[in-house]
């Protein structure tokens, strides 16, 4: 890294209190949450019916990471549902 880049990082760290590694960790967590949320909502919408669908989607948003993982693990395709691929 050149000295100007290091100077900018030091200024950012002093003024805002955010290091580059902390910022990257936050971005990765946000990306993982977004992917899990999208997958969980798609699965809930496809494999649940009636009032169960909004309840599962609400769980995904109220309990961010664990809600999405729980939804992906608990919802199974029903044997009568048609799968179109």
Tell me, what's the pLDDT at 83?
A: 54
Query: Is residue 38 assigned to a domain?
Result: yes
Query: Is residue 43 assigned to a domain?
Result: yes
Query: Is residue 14 assigned to a domain?
Result: no
Q: What angle, 0 to 180 degrees and rounded to 10, lies between the N-to-C axes of helices 20-47 and 64-74? A: 40
> CA nearest 83: which of 33, 46, 58, 54?
46
Mean pLDDT of 41-45: 92
Measured CA to CA in angstroms, residue 85 lies from 19, 48, 80, 82 at distances of 44, 18, 16, 10
pLDDT at 32 over 70: yes
Tell me, what's the pLDDT at 85?
A: 47
Return the higher-pLDDT residue of 69 and 5: 69
Tell me, what's the pLDDT at 77?
A: 81
Number of domains in the chain: 1
Residue identified by tokens 């169960």 is: 52
Tell me, what's the pLDDT at 78?
A: 73
């Amino acid at each position: 890294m050149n000295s100007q880049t290091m100077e900018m990082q030091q200024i950012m760290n002093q003024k805002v209190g955010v290091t580059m590694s902390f910022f990257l960790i936050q971005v990765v967590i946000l990306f993982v949450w977004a992917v899990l949320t999208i997958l969980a909502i798609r699965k809930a919408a496809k494999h649940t019916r009636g009032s169960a669908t909004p309840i599962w989607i609400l769980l995904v948003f109220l309990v961010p990471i664990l809600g999405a993982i729980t939804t992906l693990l608990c919802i199974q395709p029903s044997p009568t549902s048609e799968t179109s691929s």
